[in-house]
Amino acid sequence: MAILGAHNLQLHYSDIEIFSEVTLQIDASSRIGIVGPNGSGKTSLINILLGQQNFDKGSIFVTEGLNIGYVPQMALTQDTGTLRDHIMQTFADIIALESQIETSAANIQNSTLEQRTKAENHYANLVDQYERLGGYDYHNLADRVVEGIGLKPEILNTRVSDASGGERTRAALAAALLTNPDLLILDEPTNYLDIKGLEWLEDFLNKFQNAFSVISHDRYFLDRVAKEIWDLDAGRLTQYKGNYSKYKDQKFEALKHLHREYEKQQSYIRREQSFISRYHAGQRSKEARGRARRLNKIKQIEVPKDQDTMHILLQPAERSGETVLQTNGLVIGYSERQ
Distance CA 123, CA 264 (A): 78
Q: Please give, one letter per residue, the 3-state secondary structure of 40-88.
A: CCHHHHHHHHCCCCCCCEEEEEECCCCCEEEECCCCCCCCCCEHHHHHH
The verdict on pTM exceeding 0.85 is no
Distance CA 276, CA 252 (A): 36
Kindly list the averaged pLDDT for each block of 10 residues, start to end, along the chain of length 338: 93 90 95 93 94 94 93 77 90 92 89 84 92 91 87 87 82 88 92 81 90 94 96 92 95 92 93 90 87 90 74 74 84 77
**Which residues, in sequence order, are CB contacts of 143 under 8 Å at separation 6+?**
none
Distance CA 95, CA 101 (A): 10
Distance CA 272, CA 120 (A): 89
- pLDDT tens for 253-308 read 999 999 999 999 999 999 999 999 988 888 888 999 999 999 999 988 888 776 66
Q: Are 177 and 210 in contact (CB under 8 A)?
A: no
Would you give the DSSP letter of residue 159? B
- pLDDT tens for 100-116 read 999 998 888 888 877 88
- Give, in order, the Cα–Cα distances in Å from 252 to each of 192, 255, 265: 31, 5, 20
Distance CA 194, CA 180 (A): 23
Work out the mean pLDDT of the chain and round it to a whole number: 89
